[in-house]
Structure 1
Amino acid sequence: MILAFDTYYFENNAKTVCIQFEKWNDTTITKTFVEIISGIEEYKSGEFYKRELPCILSLLKVIDLSECEAIIIDGFVIIDDNQNDGLGGYLFKSLNFKIPIIGVAKNNFSKIEKFKKEILRGESKKPLYITSKGINLNEAAELIRNMHGKHRIPDLLKNVDSLGRNKNYT
């Protein structure tokens, strides 16, 4: 199974959504997990992981990871060419380096040159930015590039984004 996470913030709450699917080219979600946590800290520049990582780890407590092939996050796994950890890197450490983490970011982070891969999908001229730990970066980029969907963002990743933004979905 493959998991994809996204977290949305409103007031001092965070809504974390995780979708599960079985194969990289799947078109359907097999399970969905949602959790809302209150009392979330304010965003601090350079420390985004401190805000989102607890949300992801909390939701992971209800998911059986024994068959997990990889986890996809919305964002960066590393934040620079020294391979300092971003959200995904801290998640990788928290999971004892056992589950590969792939970061899919919509916006560029200029401090990374060597350890990110830009991919184009569909007709889009704007790339997605891929980073990873626990899986070869080129392989991770190809997995995301080949996910189902005709547009820049793979359909299943668009779905997890939509579920998070849907205020009525809990």
Structure 2
Amino acid sequence: MLLAVDVYYIEDRAKAVGVLFNWDDEQPHQIITEYFTGIEEYIPGEFYRRELPCILKLLKQVDLNILEGVIVDGYVYVSNQGDFGLGGKLYEALNKQVPIIGVAKTSFMANKETVVEIHRGESNNPLHVSAIGTDIDEAAQNIKTMKGPYRMPAILKLMDTETKKE
């Protein structure tokens, strides 16, 4: 079982959504939600400080022992030297017990050596996959072969839609 997570912000509030699924699923097994108030302002270069507490609280609703991995909307590494982004910080916070896969929609020049670009559907824009605790090429291939005809796999698109619902 995998868990894809994302957080959506409205002023000083946030909504975290987790979607439990298997690689070959078209629909999730379960969608979990957590709401937050008093969210701090975004600090450039420190995105994880805002997002990580929300994800960790959401993960309390899940038995981590059943997880093959967690997919985050973002990067594992923010530099070619291995500086951690959200995915790496989450991996550390989970005591390196659960593999993390980052799926980012936009390119980040400082970490080109730590990602695998994949193309899905008919899109010319790649997804940028990073990973820790698991093989990056296998992670990229799994993201590439997820169900759905478009750039974003159907389950990740569903998660994004659920996250933005009021």
The TM tier, using the shorter chain, reads over 0.9
Q: Deviations over 1:68-99 (max 9, x none)?
A: 00100000111010111000000000111111
Listed one character per residue, the Cα deviations across residues 20-41 of structure 1 (whole Å, up to 9, x for unaligned) are 01x2021011111101100001
Tell me what 2:23 maps to. Answer: 24
Structure holding more helix per residue: 2
Q: CA RMSD in A?
A: 0.6
Residue in structure 2 matched with residue 135 of structure 1 by the alignment: 134
1:139-162 CA-partner distances (Å, limit 9, x unpaired) = 110010010011000000000000
Aligned counterpart, 2:56: 57
Shift of 1:108: 0.5
Task: After the TM superposition, list the runs of 4 or more consecutive aligned residues in structure 1 that deviate by more than 6 angstroms.
Answer: none
Counterpart secondary structure, 2:139: helix
* 1:11, distance to aligned residue in structure 2 (A): 1.5
Question: In structure 2, how many angstroms separate the alpha carbons of the residues matched to 1:114 and 1:87?
Answer: 17
Q: Percent identity?
A: 45
- Uncovered stretches (5+) of structure 1, i.e. residues with no partner: none
CA offset at residue 113 of structure 1? 1.7
Counterpart of 2:4 in structure 1 is 4
Please name the residue that 2:155 is paired with.
Answer: 156
Mind listing any 5+ residue stretches in structure 2 that lack a counterpart?
Answer: none
Match of 2:81, SS state, is coil
Partner of 1:124: 123
| TM-score, normalization by structure 2 | 0.98
Residue 96 of structure 1 corresponds to which residue in structure 2?
95
The 2-side partners of 1:39 and 1:113 are apart by 34
State the Cα deviation string for residues 94-119 of structure 1 (Å, max 9, x = none). Answer: 11111110000000111012111100
Q: CA deviation at 1:61?
A: 1.0
Q: TM-score, normalised by structure 1?
A: 0.96
- Could you tell me which amino acid in structure 2 is paired with residue 79 of structure 1? V
